[in-house]
Amino acid sequence: MGNSKIYSKIIYSRKLQQELQAYIDKYPKGKVFLATEETVDQLWVAKIDSFLTSNGIKKVVVPAGENNKKITSVETIWQFLSENEGDRKSLLINIGGGMLTDLAGFAASTFKRGIDFLNVPTTLLSQVDASVGGKTGFNFNGLKNEIGVFKEPVAVVINTDFLKTIDRNNFISGFAEMIKHGLIHSPDHLAELKDFNFDTIDYDLLQEVIRHSVNVKEYFVANDLTENNIRKALNFGHTVGHAFESLAMSRNRPVLHGYAVAYAMIAELFLSVKMCGLPQQDCDKWTKWMLDIYGKFEIADNDFEQLYQLMTHDKKNDSGRINFTLLPKVGEIAINQNCSKDLILEALNYYKSL
């Protein structure tokens, strides 16, 4: 399959209306729709109201927040498309964070057995992560992204202007996925991230840094569309990370996804030293840097068993074995690493004692 571009076009541009117009013009008048979420609607979509009106684009707004990533929100979008005579030749433009693009992407993929959709991700996390790979879906039965399909948008427009309104915590949450991309594939990308200045953000430079990050994800997705093989590289930091997220949620003190991934990458760097011979000095260097940015997730000895149990439920596991993606060295991956329970507990203990 190689790098053949069988997935969506990624457009890096700070001229949103111009980029959208080029796509809108390909569809029949009155058959282009827009889906967004409350916060983004107020901050951004309201500003392009006259542009939408002049193009005859109607919009549907779903409530913001992960707790609204559910079937009723999908139904809201289906209902809207149905009432406004959406058909197979329609286009749905999705403007919002990963929650919205996943949800509306799923609604589009299933309406009339699938209509075209275009994503405009508005958070750093969704620009570097959710924008590539064609995963759509919603949460069900208390499980994250339990229902969904793989379906590529016709295009993804990445515009760093949207990032001017996200708070620092959400910005550095998205940054963690970029760190992951550097660790698993690109020492050069990792080096530019280490030099990145959070205090005075250069949005043109950021556009380029995001491009480098997305290129890493594209590489893995293009070579393994349905996650049977090397795409598992992208799970680095996610096996322990999802367990941290679930534990935090069960205690009503949720942590942002990127923070959980950053905490977990530290534990998984330790596993990489033990299982794959990652040099200890590399582990120490990146651990210190991530601790400086993300601080620490407080866990106690009596959390270890629960965290371990949460890891056994990870959907990437195989026949009951907990599967990790680990690093023999920075920029290189080893997938399907089965760690013993003792070693996993040792990694949690190492993390706790930092």
Residue 155 has pLDDT above 60, yes or no: yes
Tell the residue number behind the tokens 């069988």, with chain if given. Answer: 6
Question: At residue 224, what is the residue type?
Answer: D
This prediction's pTM: 0.91
CA 102 to chain centre: 10
Confidence of residue 4 (pLDDT cuts 50, 70, 90): very low
**Residue 108 CA: distances (Å) to CA of 31, 61, 75, 226:** 13, 15, 11, 20
Residue 179 has pLDDT above 70, yes or no: yes
CA pair distance 108, 35, nearest whole angstrom: 10
341 HSE (CA, 13 A, CB side): 9
pLDDT in tens, 187-221: 999 999 999 999 999 999 999 999 999 999 999 98
Q: How does DSSP classify residue 322? A: P
Q: What are phi and psi of 328, to 5 degrees?
A: -65, -35
Q: Which two tokens stand for residue 113?
A: 């057995």
Rounded to 10°, the helix 341-352/304-312 angle is: 130
Biggest CA pair distance of the chain: 63
Q: Which of 175, 136, 145, 167 is nearest to 258 (CA)?
A: 175
How do beta strands 323-329 and 332-338 pair?
A: antiparallel
In the chain the domains, ranked by start, together with CATH numbers, are 9-166 (3.40.50.1970), 169-352 (1.20.1090.10)
Confidence of residue 142 (pLDDT cuts 50, 70, 90): confident
